Structures are given as structure tokens and as C-alpha cells.
Amino acid sequence: MTQALLFDVFGTCVDWRSAIARAVTKALPGVDALVFADAWRGEYDPAMARIRAGDRGYVALDDLHRENLHRVAERFGVRAPDALAQAWERLDPWPDTVAGLHAIATHALIAPCSNGSIALMARLAKHALLPWHCILGADIARDYKPKPAVYLAACDALRLPPEAVMMVAAHNNDLAAARALGLKTAFVARPTEYGPNQTADLVAEADWDIIAPDFLVLADRLVDAR
Amino acid sequence: MTQALLFDVFGTCVDWRSAIARAVTKALPGVDALVFADAWRGEYDPAMARIRAGDRGYVALDDLHRENLHRVAERFGVRAPDALAQAWERLDPWPDTVAGLHAIATHALIAPCSNGSIALMARLAKHALLPWHCILGADIARDYKPKPAVYLAACDALRLPPEAVMMVAAHNNDLAAARALGLKTAFVARPTEYGPNQTADLVAEADWDIIAPDFLVLADRLVDAR
């Protein structure tokens, strides 16, 4: 039986694109905010890739966000204030996220297993009222998803075997990494995470244990499975 | 300004003695449950002392509780089920705890800085509805309070300097350790933690930054100090 659910956060629980674009509009008037937001997010995976490969020691995502901000700002010919990087702490949940998490939290442990740091996830939990029981993810593993260590460190911290834990994500590759380690998997599509022209992760690409349109349906399916 | 509050948990947020005695009554009929509870708690500090001293590597409190349970049961001439150790995951909050934490959580980050593991604190949060933003404490430092590393690892995880963080405890020695590192301090007396004959920690033994009778008054004092 699933005793704990781990959640991807950026894209799965919260809509990063809208909030980042709003913050960019405010801090950098004259810049195309959505294009800037996409470019900033585009630097996310390459920055982590160096750390996953061992070319750089573990650096928290807060710092990578700040470094990436300045790299992208230079490309846009503007100077960005350091504080703009804190916009990642103030993202808004999808409409079903908070109610869905509350429903799931009555039956099972819930925690983010995100590449965000404890500091970032705690501030986001405060802002978006995400009712986590604890924060797991990159910081406790000192590495980045989809490296196996991150999922395994989360299970270890909960003192649960992988088969008692379910990973929830809007990204097929995140679930593939979790399934390979024995975790259960749930896919919730977020087809506008990358805007109206999103092409990836529109549908489940494998027979994940649960495929649900939102967190409320996920909560119901979990109860049905008990 | 205080941006985050760290809370001691056993005794400060929850009444361990009553719930442990109830669980002992159920699992070990015929044993004097309060005496057993006190004896079990009595093994807590000596078990951690070996780890603090470096005589033993870090072992999570869940395991120490189980080891101590069997040691005490032997002394009482009974055999205890391993599962009884999970009683520490189902302690009840003091009457003011949950409402106080909710009030504080609207203004600042809140997290336990306890010697309980992430697993134990997460399950206790689920049981007692403690609205933490994240779980800090022994597990992330891999050492036990009052060792400085535990308080400092908590501040680091929040990316805050010690002076922006306040330690809240019903135990003067916990606050003394935190103050020595530059954290702010708040004392909330829990004069029946050890039962009606408690002799220690009945009053604040230093000029802690805040001295409050419960978490609701603590919440008010924090707002006044803003």
C-alpha cells in the first residue's frame, strides 16, 4: 500500500511560467516577459547537468536560479536585480493543487521531491499554502533528479521501501526514473506548463500506476486503490 | 527581524508523557504505564550522548527509541512489541500548539529543530496536524542537539543567518545552546511535561528574547516586535 507520495513541484504542483513572467514584467519593463521566463527556465537543466555529471559540486537551485538570471539578462541586454531570483519562491499552485494535497494528506504522507532546495520549497509552501509533511528532494541527496540518489534519499528519509512510495509528476522522464527504482508512479498532465504551444508531456507515455487529470481525481483513485 | 522560528518538539509542542503512557497501557497491561514512560524517556539522553561524543555513528531517533524500549522492557520483566516504538509518532499537541503555529506561520517560516528524524517528525506532523513549512533538526545535521551543528544546519538549510532565526523551547539548555550561536530565543514553559512533580524548566532561567506562557501569546509578541 502506498504510504507516502512524493511530488515534483515546478510544473506539477505550481505554474512557474505565469508567476515568473509577472515578476519579470515588474522588474524588467520593456522585456518580453514570457520569452524571458522561457529562456530563464531553459537554463535550468543545463545548470543541473554539470552537477549531475560531477563537473561541479552540489549548489542549491537558489544559486543556480540567480546565476541563470544574470546569464539570461545579459543576453536580453538588461541588468536584473538579484532579488528577482526569489520569484521562484512565490509561484502559484494550479487550481486543484491545494485541495488535492489536503485530501491526499489525510491518508498518506506527502512531500515534495523537487530539485528545489529546502529553503526554496519551504518558502514556496508558505506562499502557496502547500500542506507538506516534510521537504525532501535535491538538498537531502545533494544531487539533482533524475539521478537515482534523489528518489532513494527521499524514501530513506521516510524510512519506507520504494514500493511503499509513489512519485507524482507531470513529466514522463521523472516517473521513468522513479519506476526504475521500484517506486509507484502517478502522472498528472499539465498541458499549459510551457504555454499554449507546449509539445512535450501532453500525455502519459507509459502505463503509469495512476493517470489522472488533476490532484482531486488522483486523491479519489488513491482511496479506491486502498 | 525574525524570519524563521525553529521549535523543539518533544515537550515543547507535544505532550509525550500522556500519549506514551496510554500506548504502554494498551501494549503492556499490568505495567505501571507512567513509570514505564518516564523510564523510557530517561534512556533518551544517554542514548544520544554516545552519538554526540562520537562513540557511535549517527543513528536516527526511531532506532534509539526501539532499542531503549527493549532495554526498559527487560528491566520491567516484560517483552515489548517493536511497534510500540511508533507511539512517538502519535503524540498529542498541547492545547495551544496548533492554533499558535498557524498564527506564527502566516508571518514567518516555521520548522521543528528536534532530535526526531524527518520520518518521525513527518508522521507526527500528520497525526497532530502541525503545519510546518519544512522539517529540520537531527537528521539533516546527522548529530543531536544541543550540539551546535544541529542549529547551524537548520539555519543553513533555510539560507538564513542565525540572527534571523528564533529557537523556541520549553527547555533552558536548548535555548542556551541556540543563543550561543547567535539565534534569537523564546521560552514557553511546559510545567507538566514530566508530570505533576516536575522540578526542572518550570521558569525561564535567563533573559530569553521572548518569555511566553503559550504559543498564542508567543504569536502576539512576535507581531508586536515587527
CA–CA gap between residue A17 and residue A20 (Å, rounded): 5
Name which of A215, A164, A162 is nearest A187 in CA terms.
Answer: A215
Residues of chain A with pLDDT under 50: none
Cβ contacts of A188 within 8 Å, gap of 6 or more: A12, A168, A169, A170, A212, A213, A214, A215, A218
Mean pLDDT (whole number) for B82-89: 98
> Of A105, A125, A159, which has the smallest distance from its Cβ to B119's Cβ?
A159
> Which residue segments constitute the domains of chain A, with CATH numbers given?
4-15+90-224 (3.40.50.1000), 17-88 (1.10.150.240)
- Supply the pLDDT for residue B1: 86
Nearest beta carbon to residue B133 from set A117, A126, A157 = A126
Task: Identify the CA nearest to A128 among candidates A9, A7, A4.
Answer: A9
Enumerate chain B positions whose Cβ falls within 8 A of a Cβ in A: 60, 62, 105, 109, 111, 117-119, 121-123, 125-126, 131-136, 139-140, 157-160
pLDDT, one tens digit per residue, over A77-122 is 999 999 999 999 999 999 999 999 999 999 999 999 999 999 999 9
Q: How far apart are CA A214 and CA A170, in angstroms?
A: 10
CA distances from A43 to A57, A64, A84, B127 (A): 18, 9, 16, 40
Are the beta carbons of A111 and B126 separated by less than 8 Å?
Answer: no
- pLDDT value for A224: 82
Q: Is the pLDDT of residue B226 over 80?
A: no
CA pair distance B145, B130, nearest whole angstrom: 21
Confidence check: pLDDT of B224 > 90: no
Residues A125, A104: Cα–Cα separation, whole Å: 16
Mean pLDDT lowest for which of A115-119, B33-37, B68-72, B222-226? Answer: B222-226
Q: Which of B170, B138, B179 is nearest to B157 (CA)?
A: B138
Identify residues of A whose CB sits under 8 angstroms from chain B CBs: 60, 62, 105, 109, 111, 117-119, 121-123, 125-126, 131-136, 139-140, 157-160
pLDDT in tens, B121-138: 999 999 999 999 999 999
Q: What is the pLDDT of residue B225?
A: 79
ipTM of the complex: 0.97
- Asked if B159's CB is within 8 angstroms of A62's CB, the reply is yes
CB A175 within 8 A of CB A167: yes
Q: Per-residue pLDDT tens for B145-158?
A: 999 999 999 999 99
In this complex, the residue of B118, B140, B158 whose CB is nearest that of residue A122 is B158
Looking at chain B, the whole-number percentage of residues with pLDDT higher than 70 is 100
The cell numbers describing A112, all together, are: 515534495
Mean predicted lDDT score pLDDT of chain B: 97
Q: Residue B159 and residue A134: Cβ atoms within 8 Å?
A: no
The neighbouring-strand residues paired with A115 are none
Dig out the grid coordinates for B44 from the structure.
Answer: 533518551
Torsion of CA B95, B97, B98, B104, to 10 degrees: 140
Give CA–CA dist B165/B153, Å, rounded: 12
